[in-house]
């Protein structure tokens, strides 16, 4: 899941000179992920992983690193 | 002068709240007093009416103090996008030939400290009154330029004032309105917040920036603050409709939403219209050169998912002419900018009869305009205007680049994204070029795709074959 998210983020949403070196806990918001990027990321994740991410959980804390994203998406899908 | 309606409000209701930024607020009277101090500070620096003054501040109350201060001194403000890489900012400050830079604290490195004025260091003072003709410049807004460099669009007091008056009347702004503000002041959308809202005695509430990333908290904030109107970009409203928890957060106070800057995808607009059944929606349209020249009050029953909405009717009393051959929209009217600002001089762009060719391809169907794309190469990326020529000029100036071409690739969310085809001399690599570009241009101008070629494809007549370049880049994914 993390690899799919990472590929999508760095090919579609933000430019980074060396995505391979971008750590799983590194700050995506600081790297340039903005509101439009978050919306596209959520659309991608809901479709790709078959989950519904609740409106009230869209918070900077849940999207600011690859690890946070993975944890959040897995939790959202856990009850299905 | 553009601030006349605001000054009238200051006399009528000095105690009323003008600006709210989290727990900080400023009344009309206090805003005027602060702006007057800045104006007097600028006059003490020797700034004369008509001269440009840069505003080196991000967003919120302090920017309004600085902008109104500049205007009260008779100066013309140049709002800077502080997210721009330093070389681009430095170019804009040089090109505008500013006579002062307004900011907070000490002058940042790389800026001429003798031009710097800290707005908090301006002591209370009344500026000398200035008389300005309606055609004096009020603002210079820099956008991406087809000439290969950022280009300033110079707006007169008269042009901005006529837009503000028209927009305030359209949505019947009143002094009890609470209007949300999220647009940076270097975008022409901000002229509504500054001059329509504050000209009618309403209150401007700055949207806390963290909320932009959390649509359900944004809707909760809109509800708590009893916001009655907002002029913003479609992508934020689409996010609000998609994940804003609007079913649980009815926005009963929200009378109207205005949007502009990019095409609102119709399915997202249908979603928004359904979730805000009592809010009036208006689409505004026009390049920065016209501010707004066209508008469409959204008729909900006419929205069809696979059809773009019309751009609609002439706004601000503009006259339209559509070229019979090219379909290009020509506009004439009182809200048009005066020209481009180039090295401290105004280059008028209207023809002798006052018409401006917008570069937009349109058609007229049952009295309404429909938009069919751009005639030139300009792109719209996340609401920002991007001229491929500006990216090409930056790339061509780099060592190891023999040739390059930038085209737009359609993107479902961002509208368009720039994409770059390169012809390199060894040992330069595309990754090096992209890294160097990242330091020179803002993020919305960064190519989303890049391909290195032996030669750029050309048409039989020798011209660059942009369609072929686009096909090659689209195949990159």
pLDDT in tens, chain B (477 residues): 899 999 999 999 999 999 999 999 999 999 999 999 999 999 999 999 999 999 999 889 999 999 999 999 999 999 999 988 888 899 999 999 999 999 999 999 888 899 999 999 999 999 999 989 889 999 999 988 777 789 999 999 999 999 999 999 999 999 999 999 999 999 999 999 999 999 999 999 999 988 999 999 999 999 999 999 999 999 899 999 999 999 999 999 999 999 998 889 899 999 999 999 999 999 999 988 999 999 999 999 999 998 889 999 999 999 999 999 899 999 999 999 999 998 889 999 888 999 999 999 999 988 899 998 888 888 888 778 898 989 999 999 999 999 999 999 987 767 788 999 999 998 889 989 998 998 889 888 989 889 999 999 988 887 888 889 999 998 876
CB B28 within 8 A of CB B18: yes
Q: Smallest Cβ distance to B212: which of A32, A35, A43?
A: A35
Q: Does B243 reach chain A within 8 Å, measured CB to CB?
A: yes
Q: Using a CB-CB distance cutoff of 8 angstroms, which residues of chain B are in contact with residue A34?
A: 212-213, 382
CB contact under 8 A, A55 and B382: no
Closest to B217 in 3D by CA, of A42, A46, A76, A55: A55
Kindly report the CATH number assigned to the domain that includes residue A70: 1.10.1200.10
CB contact under 8 A, B446 and A56: no
- Alpha carbon distance B56, B64 (integer Å): 12
Residue B416: closest C-alpha in chain A: A12
- Cβ-Cβ contacts under 8 Å between A and B: the total is 61
CB contact under 8 A, B446 and A15: yes
Q: Does A40 reach chain B within 8 Å, measured CB to CB?
A: yes
Please tell me the least confidently modeled range out of A13-22, A45-54, B145-154, B367-376: A13-22
pLDDT of residue B314: 94
Q: Does B430 reach chain A within 8 Å, measured CB to CB?
A: no
**In which domain, by residue range, is A51 found?**
2-78
CB B76 within 8 A of CB B341: no
* Total Cβ atoms within 10 A of residue B303: 17
Q: Does A7 reach chain B within 8 Å, measured CB to CB?
A: no
CB contact under 8 A, A39 and B443: no
CB contact under 8 A, B243 and A59: no
Q: Using a CB-CB distance cutoff of 8 angstroms, which residues of chain B are in contact with residue A17?
A: 431, 434-435, 438
Could you give all domains of chain B from N- to C-terminal order, each with its CATH number? 4-370 (3.40.50.12780), 381-474 (3.30.300.30)
pLDDT of residue A79: 41
Q: Does B48 reach chain A within 8 Å, measured CB to CB?
A: no
B354 by DSSP, 3-state: which? coil
Residue B383: closest C-alpha in chain A: A36
Q: Does A39 reach chain B within 8 Å, measured CB to CB?
A: yes
Task: State the burial class of residue B188 (Cβ atoms within 10 Å of its Cβ: 0-12, 13-18, 19+).
Answer: buried
Q: Using a CB-CB distance cutoff of 8 angstroms, which residues of chain A are in contact with residue B238?
A: 39
Q: Using a CB-CB distance cutoff of 8 angstroms, which residues of chain B are in contact with residue A76?
A: none
Q: Looking at CA atoms only, how far is residue B138 from chain A in angstroms?
A: 31
List CB contacts of B307: < 8 A, sequence separation 6 or more: B266
Q: What are phi and psi of A47, to 5 degrees?
A: -75, -50
CB contact under 8 A, A55 and B435: no
CB contact under 8 A, B214 and A58: yes
Q: Does B216 reach chain A within 8 Å, measured CB to CB?
A: yes
The encoded tokens of residue A68 equal 């946070």
Q: Using a CB-CB distance cutoff of 8 angstroms, which residues of chain A are in contact with residue B210?
A: 60
Q: To the nearest whole number, what is the mean pLDDT of chain A?
A: 88
Count: domains in chain A: 1
pLDDT of residue B145: 79
């Amino acid at each position: 899941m993390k690899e799919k998210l990472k590929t999508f983020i760095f090919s579609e949403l933000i430019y980074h000179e060396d995505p391979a070196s971008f750590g799983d806990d590194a700050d995506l918001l600081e790297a340039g992920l903005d509101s439009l990027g978050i919306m596209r990321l959520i659309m991608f994740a809901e479709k790709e992983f078959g989950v519904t991410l609740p409106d009230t959980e869209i918070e900077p804390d849940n999207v600011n690193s690859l690890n946070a994203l993975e944890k959040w998406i897995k939790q959202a899908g856990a009850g299905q | 002068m553009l601030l006349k309606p605001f000054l009238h409000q200051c006399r009528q209701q000095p105690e009323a709240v003008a600006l709210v930024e989290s727990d900080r607020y400023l009344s009309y009277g206090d805003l005027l007093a602060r702006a007057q101090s800045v104006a007097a500070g600028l006059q003490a620096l020797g700034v004369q009416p008509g001269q440009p003054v840069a505003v080196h501040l991000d967003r919120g109350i302090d920017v309004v103090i600085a902008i109104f201060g500049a205007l009260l001194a008779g100066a013309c403000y140049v709002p800077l996008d502080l997210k721009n890489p330093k070389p681009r900012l430095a170019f804009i400050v040089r090109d505008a030939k500013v006579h002062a830079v307004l900011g907070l604290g000490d002058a940042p490195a790389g800026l001429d400290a003798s031009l710097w004025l800290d707005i908090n260091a301006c002591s209370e003072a009344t500026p000398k009154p200035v008389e300005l003709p309606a055609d004096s410049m009020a603002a210079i807004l820099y956008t991406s330029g087809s000439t290969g460099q950022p280009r300033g669009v110079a707006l007169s007091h008269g042009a901005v004032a006529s837009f503000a008056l028209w927009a305030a009347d359209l949505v019947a702004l009143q002094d009890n309105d609470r209007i949300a503000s999220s647009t940076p002041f270097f975008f022409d959308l901000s002229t509504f917040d500054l001059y329509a809202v504050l000209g009618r005695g309403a209150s401007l509430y700055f949207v806390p920036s963290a909320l932009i990333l959390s649509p359900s908290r944004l809707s909760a904030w809109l509800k708590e603050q009893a916001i009655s109107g907002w002029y913003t970009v479609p992508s934020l409203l689409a996010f609000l409709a998609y994940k804003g928890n609007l079913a649980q957060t009815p926005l009963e106070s929200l009378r109207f939403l205005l949007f502009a800057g990019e095409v609102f995808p119709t399915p997202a607009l249908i979603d928004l219209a359904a979730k805000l059944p009592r809010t009036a929606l208006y689409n505004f349209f026009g390049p920065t050169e016209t501010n707004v020249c066209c508008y469409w009050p959204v008729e909900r029953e006419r929205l069809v998912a696979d059809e773009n909405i019309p751009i609609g009717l002439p706004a601000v009393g503009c006259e339209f002419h559509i070229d019979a051959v090219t379909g290009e929209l020509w506009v004439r009217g009182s809200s048009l900018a005066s020209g481009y600002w180039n090295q401290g001089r105004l280059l008028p762009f209207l023809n002798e009869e006052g018409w401006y060719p917008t570069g937009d391809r349109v058609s007229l169907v049952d009295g309404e305009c429909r938009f069919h794309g751009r005639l030139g190469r300009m792109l719209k990326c996340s609401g920002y205007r991007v001229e491929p020529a500006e990216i090409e000029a930056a790339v061509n100036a780099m060592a190891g680049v023999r040739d390059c071409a930038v085209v737009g690739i359609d993107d479902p969310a961002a509208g368009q994204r720039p994409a770059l085809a390169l012809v390199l001399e060894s040992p330069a690599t595309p990754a090096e070029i992209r890294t160097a570009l990242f330091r020179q241009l803002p993020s919305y101008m960064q190519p989303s795709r890049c391909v290195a070629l032996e030669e750029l494809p050309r048409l039989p007549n020798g011209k660059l074959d942009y369609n072929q370049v686009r096909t090659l880049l689209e195949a990159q994914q």
